[in-house]
Amino acid sequence: MTYDLITISLPLIAAYLGSYFLYQKNYIKRSTHIRLWNILILLTFLISVGPGLTLLCLVEYGIALPISQSLLYWHVQFGIALFWITIFHMHSYWKSSPSETGQKTKKQDAVNNEKNRRDDG
């Protein structure tokens, strides 16, 4: 049994580049572009990790089910998609979170401190 590494990877890369191009040229909003790939990453994560963890539990407890091979197959196929979509996700959010770049950090820390002081009091 072989896995579709190229046939999954190439269309996904093309689709992301297409979506990114549409966003860059203002045909779609940034939020639409991000939301589309966020939904896809969540779906591929659930479909890849679900069978992966099920297989892990089965292997740890020494149980073999008739669906084990199908679980392994779909775990790998969706794992390939998850690999690429996670890279797209990192690209989309690269230095975009204000709390992580420090823009709002001081403000948020001050709010936190104030909240804690009130709780202590």
Residue 28 vs 72, nearer CB to other proteins: 72
What does the DSSP assignment read for 72-88?
A: HHHHHHHHHHHHHHHHH
Minimum gap (Å) between residue 17 Cβ and other proteins: 20
The distance of closest approach from Cβ of residue 87 to other proteins in the complex, given in angstroms and rounded to an integer, is: 8
Q: Which residues bind other proteins (CB under 8 A)?
A: 1-3, 5, 35, 38-39, 42, 45, 49, 52-53, 55-66, 68-69, 72-73, 76, 79-80, 83, 86, 90, 97, 99-100, 102, 105, 108-109, 112-113, 116
Tell me, rounded to whole angstroms, the distance of Cα 80 from its chain centroid: 12
**In 111-121, which positions are buried (b, 16+ CB within 10 angstroms) versus exposed (e)?**
eeeeeeeeeee
